[in-house]
Amino acid sequence: MATGYYPGCSLEGTAAEFDMSIRALAEALQLPLTEIEDWNCCGASAAHQTNHLLGLALPARTIALAAAQGMEEIVAPCAACSNRLIAAQAEWLDNSGLRGDIEHAIGMPLPAGRLPIRNCIEFLLPHIEKITAALRKPLTGKKVACYYGCLLVRPPKVVAFDDPENPVTMEKVAAATGAEAVDWGFRTECCGAAFAMSSTASVVRLCGRILDNARSEGAHMVIVACPLCHANLDMRQPKGMAMPIVYLSQLVGLAVGVAPKALGLGKHITPVAPALA
């Protein structure tokens, strides 16, 4: 099955290491990913707050391209990208009146059915056995706190991914690396999202609470699957916290023996190396 890869803008900028680690890991696990040609911005929060049709048309164009390029599913590691793609697709499938307007706006036909959109966790979840078989450097003894944030699991009826109040899938993938996923209370709490710019102090406070709980439950690092979560947790830590924030793809990459450099582990603000020692 041809799998389209949709990195989105974050993975070309602040979350370059997410992109590097996904590609490196896919190669190591022999999971072919083909980047969708000529993909465009998903619109993020800006588009759907500006104009409803624009908010639908931007993700629609990427999905239409993927379908036209013969792809049967899309892996969109960025939580905002996957959320927008899923939400837009759900909307036109639910309301057939929108289809014509969107097709007119993008100048392309939309696929008739639903194209599965997978986030980073869903990308890896079916391959746990493969990961276990490929383990080179199991992370035995490492305690990790899996952090989902808001976008991966919400709105529950639209994304239909895991349990919105008590998700467990990231823990399953993390456990395949030999690491121990700790039971903690802030897995779906807010990281402050875009308020990092307008109310930095609030974001520091929110991130501080999340990391405090991860630490008190014994975690050596926090695992994420969203570029914005990563940016906030990595950059907005209270003084003296020094909690490494690692993408799920980096964690699995390490365990299956991908070189830390190829996973972009040196790109973090809060150093990761001490936690791996």
Partner 1 sequence: MARIGVFVCWCGENIGRTVDCPKVAAEAAEFPGVVHSVDYKYMCSDPGQGLVKEAIREKKLTGVVVAACSPRMHESTFRRACAEAGLNPFLCEMANIREHCSWVHEDRGEATAKAVQLVRVMVEKVKRNEALFPIKVPVTKRALVIGGGIAGIQAALDIANGGKKVVLVEKEPSIGGHMAQLSETFPTLDCSQCILTPRMVEAATHPNITLHTYAEVESVSGFIGNFDVKIRLKARSVDIKKCTGCGLCAQKCPQKKIPSEFDEGLGMRTAIYTPFAQAVPNKPVIDRAHCTKFLNGKCGICQKICPVGAVDYTQEDTFIEEKVGAIVVATGYRLYDFRNGEKDYGIEGYGEYGYGQYKDVIDGLQFERLASASGPTGGEILRPSDGKPPEKVVFIKCVGSRDCAKGLSYCSKICCMYIAKHAMLYKHKVHHGTAYVFYMDIRAGGKSYDEFVRRAIEEDGAVYIRGRVSRIYKRGGKLVVVGADTLLGGTGGGRVEIEADLVVLATAMRPQYGIEALAQKLSISYDEYGFLSEAHPKLRPVETNTAGIFLAGACQGAKDIPEAVGQASGAAAKVLGLFSGDELEREPIVAHVNQSQCVGCFYCEQVCPYHAIEREEKRDKAGNLIARVAKVNAGLCQGCGACVATCRSNSIDLDGFSAEQVFSQIGGLK
CB of 138 to partner 1, least distance (A): 26
Nearer Cβ to partner 1 (6/186): 186
Token pair listed for 125: 């979840």
Nearer Cβ to partner 1 (122/162): 162
Kindly state whether residue 163 participates in binding partner 1, applying the rule CB under 8 A. yes
| 94, 122, 155 from 87: Cα distances, Å | 10, 16, 9
How far apart CA 26 and CA 107 sit, in angstroms, is 33
Kindly state whether residue 185 participates in binding partner 1, applying the rule CB under 8 A. yes
From 166, 197, 240, 277, residue interacting with partner 1 (rule: CB under 8 A): 166
Helix (H) or strand (E) holding 181: strand 180-181
Candidate ranges 140-148, 158-166, 235-243, 254-262; the one touching partner 1 (CB under 8 A)? 158-166
From 73, 101, 103, 217, residue interacting with partner 1 (rule: CB under 8 A): 217
From 155, 164, 208, 238, residue interacting with partner 1 (rule: CB under 8 A): 164
Name the residue among 231, 225, 238 with its Cα closest to residue 192.
231
Q: Across the strands, what pairs with 181?
A: 144
Nearer Cβ to partner 1 (58/174): 174
Kindly state whether residue 148 participates in binding partner 1, applying the rule CB under 8 A. no
Nearer Cβ to partner 1 (50/216): 216
**Total interface residues for partner 1 by CB under 8 A:** 12
Kindly state whether residue 216 participates in binding partner 1, applying the rule CB under 8 A. yes
Please state, as a whole number, how many other Cβ atoms lie within 10 Å of the Cβ of residue 273.
Answer: 11
**Residue 232-271 contact track with partner 1, rule CB under 8 A, x = bound:** ----------------------------------------
Nearer Cβ to partner 1 (6/147): 147
How far apart, in Å, do the first and last CA atoms of the chain sit? 39
Q: What residues contact residue 185 under an 8 Å CB cut-off, 6+ apart?
A: 213, 217
| 130, 182, 245, 247 from 141: Cα distances, Å | 21, 12, 17, 18
From 37, 126, 183, 266, residue interacting with partner 1 (rule: CB under 8 A): 183
CB of 163 to partner 1, least distance (A): 5
CB of 3 to partner 1, least distance (A): 30
Give Rg (Cα) of the chain.
Answer: 18
How far apart CA 78 and CA 84 sit, in angstroms, is 10
Kindly state whether residue 37 participates in binding partner 1, applying the rule CB under 8 A. no
| Helix %, strand %, coil % of the chain (to 5) | 50, 10, 40
Kindly state whether residue 50 participates in binding partner 1, applying the rule CB under 8 A. no
Asked if residue 19 lies in contact with residue 81, where contact means CB atoms within 8 angstroms, the answer is no
Residues that bind partner 1 in the complex, under the rule CB under 8 A: 163-166, 183-186, 189, 213, 216-217
